[in-house]
Homo-oligomer: A and B are copies of this chain.
Amino acid sequence: MTVLDQTGKRRPVTSATALPDLPAVRDEVDAILTDFLAKRAQAAPGPEMTPLFTTLSSLLHGGKRLRAHLCVTGWYAGEGRGDRDRILRVAASLELFHAFALIHDDVMDSSDLRRGRPTAHRALATAYVADGHPPRRATAHGLAAGLLLGDLVLTLSDDLIRTGPGAEAMWRIQPLLETMRSQLVYGQYLDLVATGRPCDDLEAALRIVRYKTASYTVEWPLRIGAALAGAGPDVHSACSEFAIPLGEAFQLRDDLLGVFGDPAKTGKPVGDDIREGKATVLMALALQSASAADRRLLRTAVGNPDLSDEDFGRVRDVIEHSGAHRQVETMIMARRHAALTVLDRAPFPFPAAEALREIAGIATVRQS
């Protein structure tokens, strides 16, 4: 059996084209994570460590496993052959890296909810009090323990990745891992510095999106998978061309969900970005188009941690009426379209391109 590839040539359908769907990858990755974390919890120095592992397991529970799926798909895109289990271990480690990012992000923002449950630092504060410690120390303890859990999860991610592909492949993907890690930190820092200064600079807001989310959510998982397959520069280029607009669209959808989403579906409160004063693309566009009076309202409300639900409702109306909501929807669709167009000419096996098409849909049209 053969399929028609993007250059019009016929290629044979090989084992590499037997591409698993997202639920299948999720199950395999979850099995690896469960087994790995159980072993590490057992090797930890004592029962005092239990809250760290319990909290991590709980946090991991609700994830979409998008990064893992992208990594596996990247391997197929690069026509990877051989033992898929080694690739799945790298994919699983990217989910731990993501968990690290979420834990530290929530500590920095003092957020209460994530994936519909208490954030890691809140859960650790609760465990601390349940263990008989004074409630007055709980908040500070939770934040410090959350910081440590993040550190632990980053090192666990590193440890898990090394159980996968062997010394030679590790060496090959190392520069990609390094870029992924430092870009995330740089993005978070850009975000942090801009927080509290709502600004109509669209380019600045997009730069934060690129560093903070786009690259570690789409580009590096995909390219790490491709690198594991030993893909050449043309595959890597196509991965980046597909990933960069899609990663931006992913974060733009997140920004919309943060203001207009349904907390029952997103698992986090609505309005946090506004109360924290995040310099999002949505806010930049609203500030550009709102009337002078509405701009004043936005500037007073954004970054006010005590903003009432009623006042938040007003902010939401201003954003809606400014046209920014619609503009961001248009930006998402344009980016999604750009990503899909790349797939039409990318040197990927047909099933990998199809899987990426599906992921592009999930990442941009999602409600959570």
- Residues of A at under 8 Å CB distance from B? 40, 44-46, 48-49, 52, 104, 107-108, 128, 131, 133-134, 137, 141, 143-145, 147-148, 150-152, 154-156, 158-159, 162, 167-168, 170-171, 174, 178, 181-183, 185-186, 188-190, 192-193, 196-197, 207, 211
Q: How far is the CA of A356 from the CA of B150 in the complex (A)?
A: 35
Are A147 and B104 within 8 A (Cβ)? Answer: yes
Assess the B154–A192 pair: CB atoms within 8 A: no
B182 to A171, Cβ gap below 8 A? no
* In contact, A152 and B44 (Cβ under 8 angstroms): no
Q: How many copies does the complex hold?
A: 2
A150 to chain B: which residues have CB within 8 Å? Answer: 151
Q: Which residue of B lies closest to A305 (CB)?
A: B140
Known: A158-B178, A167-B168, A167-B170. A188 touches B148 (CB 8 A): yes
Q: Verify A178–B159 contact, CB threshold 8 A.
A: yes
In contact, B192 and A145 (Cβ under 8 angstroms)? yes
Q: Top 6 closest A-B pairs, CB basis?
A: A108-B144, A167-B171, A155-B181, A152-B185, A159-B178, A148-B189
Pair A155/B167 contact, Cβ less than 8 Å: no
Q: Let me know if B104 and A45 touch, CB within 8 A.
A: no
Given A108-B144, A196-B137, the answer on whether A45 and B211 have CB atoms closer than 8 Å is yes
* Minimal Cβ-Cβ distance residue in B for A169: B167
Can you offer 10 A-B residue contacts whose CB atoms are under 8 A? A45-B183, A49-B186, A108-B144, A108-B148, A133-B193, A152-B189, A154-B154, A156-B182, A162-B174, A167-B168
